[in-house]
Structure 1
Amino acid sequence: MNLQEHSKVLGDTVDKLSDEASYKQLFHAYRDEEALPSAEVLKEIVDLCRSVLFPGYYGNARINKQTIRFHTGVNVETLHALLSRQIYAGLCFADASCVTCPEEKVFRIAEKHSEEFISNLPEIRAVLATDIEATFNGDPAAQNPGEVIFCYPGFRAIVNYRIAHQLYKQNVPYIPRIIAEMAHSETGIDIHPGARIGHHFSIDHGTGTVIGETSVIGNFVRIFQGVSLAGEKLPPDENGNAIRGVARHPVLEDHVTIYSNATLIGKIRIGKGATICGNVWISEDVPAGAIVQQIVG
């Protein structure tokens, strides 16, 4: 290929890629003050949350009872500043039509979201303490609760979920899903931030576990690797579009156990204390206390 032909191929390709019909659903027009949310900064934010929630395990390892207030104060101030900027970026990105919104107004909204999130950190820590307890008590291989905090992928995914879920409840756009997907990439556990999960929750091993957006999980629930709480496929609306915002995932009542590679699909209810054995497909309600297993023979 000579130079003229080479230039023509590249030029034709640029023309096709620049055609509005090609990119109109894939293009985001920036305002001067706008930036996309940063996965790198959000990782720093999650790490700061871990340092605040589990002092001594993450962040400054030399922290002690005499210095904990100082270190927590520094981390919370840094967290507030970073999170405010990321929420601001998410708000701008989510509202592309708001081309005349004053930057100061949007940033004040972002700061209020950041403050609300930080004010809920004590509650998040309290429920995570129950998740640690459940994980430790449910796994004889765990030597101590610290091992759960520092090493267990299931608990790591739960921490990201608890953080993301709080932001989701505040209607913060994009950021909750990014934080949830960070844990998904790291652990292989996919928990949608919209799922509602009670206290004393544990995921044993966890690789391949999926918990969908409208799943509801009670207290003292334990699930294993490869479990899928999947949404049923709903018919499209009158315009042929997917129906969104309706419950379509399972409800697990308290003290339910689901073993590996079980799939539960649709808006079904698994009764209190039920046990779902491995490698089963469940698409109907299960009564309280029942044991569901494969039929052998």
Structure 2
Amino acid sequence: MKLDTVIDDIVESYQTHNEISKVDAIRQPDKAVIIDLLERLQDIIFPGFFGRKGLKSDYVKYYLGDQIQIIYNDLKNQILLAFDYCENCKDSCKEEEARDKTLTFLKTIPQIREYLATDAQATFDGDPAAISISEIVLSYPGYYAIMVNRIAHELYKLNIPLIPRIMTEHAHSLTGIDIHPGATLGKYLMIDHGTGIVIGETTVIGEHVQIYQGVTLGALSTHGGQSLKNVKRHPTIEDNVTIYSNASVLGGDTVVGEGSIIGGNTFIIKSVPSGTIVNNKAVMRFKYSDTAEDFNQNEFK
């Protein structure tokens, strides 16, 4: 067999499976540029931690101005390229829409910082091994995954294709934590250890929630495929809930009530009342009363 034959066979496969080929395609977002944007955004969200060291307060506005200009230009261009994957985007207004969405996103940075400040505090308060807030910002993978989600979620809310998912999958590859950009995360979120966590697109998480490694907040079934798009298929976690390692909470109608504790290795497909404990024997105890109720394990199958 000659090498030319191998090449011809591969070229033929490009034509046969055109859906995974980009031959002759001029416009598409650049993954490397998007990852660079994440790093620049991390730099301005946490000034002095990343990027330029020794940043002085009397220079910070000039440094920020330079960085914001780069971020604005690169993000606007990547959004414009991503619009080619948007069925509802009109060619006549794509340029203007890309500018508007870029500016709208940039205006959310103070709010993103506010939420991340609460996440850092919650992580410090909840982890006795934490030495300082700085250690969390610089080194905790759970905190990094939350940061990327908070950035990507704002872009997701603006209906920007591809870019939010590229960002969160980059974080997934680095941390082992898979948070869809559509997931809504409340303030004071703590992800401890984090490896193997999966949080689905329509998940809603309240405030002061703690999540440990291996937790899945997922769909009860995905057999419907694309017919389930835009359907609430992931759970709602209310305020002050703790979910311990390797627990699975599944289904769009499933609500974990405020103040509940979900024990490790549990499998939950029905709503949990507020203020209860669930262990892997499917026993629930009301935290704020002197009574305890045993539930049949079949309730959670």
Q: TM-score, normalised by structure 1?
A: 0.88
Shift of 1:191: 0.3
How far residue 25 of structure 1 moved from its aligned partner, in angstroms, is 3.1
Q: 1:112 Cα shift?
A: 1.3
The answer as to 2:32 corresponding to 1:40 is yes
Q: Which residue in the other structure is 2:251 paired with? A: 266
| Cα distance change on mapping 1:44 and 1:235 into 2, 3 Å | closer
Q: Give the direction of change, closer, same or farther, for the CA distance of 1:128–1:234 in structure 2 (3 Å limit).
A: same
Within 5 Å, give how 1:225-264 maps onto structure 2. Answer: 225-233=213-221, 236=224, 242-264=227-249
Q: Secondary structure of 1:264's match?
A: strand
Match among 174, 188, 204 for residue 200 of structure 1:
188
Q: Which residue of 1 aligns with 2:19?
A: 25
Q: State the shift of 1:27 in Å.
A: 4.0
Please state how far the C-alpha of 1:242 moved relative to its aligned partner.
3.5
1:9 is displaced (CA, Å) by 3.8
Aligned structure 1 segments of 4 or more residues deviating by more than 6 angstroms: none
- What is the total number of aligned residue pairs between the two structures? 281
After superposition, give the CA deviation of every residue in 1:16-68 in whole Å (9 maximum; x if it has no partner). 4254xx2243345756xx43211211111111111111100011112021111
Q: Structure 1 CA distance, aligned partners of 2:100 and 2:24?
A: 24
Q: How does 1:120-139 map to 2 (within 5 A)?
A: 120-139=108-127
The residue correspondences of 1:83-232 to structure 2 (distance < 5 A) are 83-95=75-87, 101=91, 105-232=93-220
Cα deviation for residue 113 of structure 1 reads 1.1
User: What is residue 284 of structure 1 aligned with on the other side?
Assistant: 270
RMSD: 2.2
The answer on whether the counterparts of 2:193 and 2:213 sit within 8 Å (CA) in structure 1 is: yes
Structure 2 counterpart of 1:47, one-letter code? E
- Give the secondary-structure state (helix, strand or coil) at the position aligned to 2:191: strand
Q: CA deviation at 1:101?
A: 3.0
Instruction: Using the TM superposition, give the Cα deviation of residue 130 of structure 1 relative to its aligned residue in structure 2, in angstroms.
Output: 0.5
**Alignment identity in percent?**
38
* C-alpha separation in 2, matches of 1:12 and 1:172: 37
Whole-angstrom distance in 2 between the partners of 1:56 and 1:78: 18
* TM-score after normalising by structure 2: 0.87
Contact 2:122 2:190 in 1 (8 A): yes
Give yes or no for contact 1:276–1:291 (8 Å, CA) kept in 2.
yes
For residues 47-105 of structure 1, the C-alpha deviation after alignment (integer angstroms, 9 at most, x for no partner) is 1111111100011112021111111111111110111111111112445x98x935xx4
Q: How big is each residue's C-alpha offset from its partner over 1:147-187, in whole Å with a ceiling of 9 and x where there is no partner?
A: 11111000000000000000000001100000000100000
Query: Which residue number corresponds to residue 297 of structure 2?
Result: none
Larger deviation: 129-138 or 62-71? 62-71
Amino acid at match of 1:161: N
The SS at the match of 1:88 is helix
| CA–CA distance in structure 1, aligned partners of residues 264 and 144 of structure 2 | 23
CA distance in 1, matches of 2:184, 2:176: 20
Aligned residue for 2:19, secondary structure, equals: coil
Q: Contact conserved, 1:235 with 1:242, CA < 8 A, in 2?
A: no
2: CA distance between counterparts of 1:8 and 1:120? 54
C-alpha change, 1:68 and 1:8, in structure 2 (3 Å) is closer
Tell whether 2:280 aligns with 1:294. yes
Distance 1:196 1:153 in 2: 19
Alpha-carbon distance in structure 1 between the residues aligned to 2:145 and 2:201: 15
Distance in 2 (alpha carbons) for counterparts of 1:11 and 1:87: 35
Structure 1, 86-95 or 73-82: larger mean CA deviation: 86-95
Contact 1:214–1:249, Cα closer than 8 Å, also in 2: yes
Cα 1:24/1:146, change in 2 over 3 Å? same
SS at match of 2:245: coil
Aligned-pair CA distance for 1:106:
2.1
The unaligned stretches of length 5 or more in structure 1 are none
